[in-house]
Homo-oligomer: A and B are copies of this chain.
Amino acid sequence: MNVPGVRPPLADEVVARLREAVASGRWGVGEKIPSEPELIAEFGVSRGTLREAIKALAHAGLFEVLRGDGTYVRATSEISGTAQRVFREHADEDVLQVRFALDTQAARLAAGSADTAVVAELRSLLARRRESWESGDYAAWSAADWEFHLRVAEASGNTLLHELYESFGDVFHGTKMVQRLEAGFDGCLATGHEELLEAIEAGDGEAAVRTVIANLDYCMGWMPGR
């Protein structure tokens, strides 16, 4: 493809090696990566080149650079940072419609590959979700709710879909949900999630899609300005 004499920018190679290090689990999410001088010694490049690589991945959401402290791993997929920046530039309604698209597909696929172990775990999550809501622990409710959706995406068997859910998490769930809680939100159809789980357990993809549609249609009613 390329003439032997020409080589790609060194910084790109450093980006690839950093990406690979994160993907391989050398540094887990939340951990601090080695300091610049250490990485310079390891990769054998100058500080400027290393910083360009780190900056690119930090912009993509893989790293967070804290001046005076160090650089931390914030995600395993570098789509999160960019996606969140793009998503924030669009109306909440548009974002929810895209989530709707992914939710229905995740439900359909999850129903198609029903697994008793996964169903049991989902049931456990819904129990925790219900308890948190009734005890007024909104933070725990929010966490359990999102965990449920994430597991459904994982159960779809589509690794890309699962990765998208993990990356979009903060935008889909974290920021938006809280706003609605203040306004007398009632937990988004208390029985909606149970119905979805039943449809998944029964392996009925179309029924699963219907519950998601009903659920999100209801949610959409809580959108500001509608």
Q: Using a CB-CB cutoff of 8 Å, which residues 61-96 of chain A contact chain B?
A: 65, 67, 77-79, 82-83, 85-87, 90-91, 94-95
Query: A105 is contacted by which of B86, B98, B109 (Cβ under 8 Å)?
Result: B98
Copies in the complex: 2
- Whether the Cβ atoms of B90 and A159 lie closer than 8 Å is yes
Listed by A's residue number, 10 A-B pairs whose Cβ atoms lie within 8 Å are A56-B58, A78-B85, A79-B79, A90-B160, A90-B163, A94-B159, A97-B160, A98-B105, A98-B160, A101-B161
| Chain A contact patch, size range | 35 or more
Instruction: Select which of B59, B83, B90 is within 8 A of A59 by beta carbon.
Output: B59
Q: Inside 8 A of A60's CB, which chain B residues have their CB?
A: 56, 59-60, 82
Q: What 0/1 readout, one digit per residue, does chain A (160-180) give for beta carbons within 8 Å of chain B? A: 110110000000000000000
CB of A158 within 8 A of chain B?
yes
Tell me whether A196 is interfacial, beta carbon within 8 Å: no
Query: Provided the pairs A59-B60, A60-B82, A101-B101 are in contact, do residues A87 and B160 lie with their beta carbons within 8 angstroms?
Result: yes
A102 interfacial contact with B, CB 8 Å: yes
Tell me, rounded to whole Å, the shortest Cβ–Cβ distance linking A83 to chain B: 6
A100 proximal to B (CB < 8 A)? yes
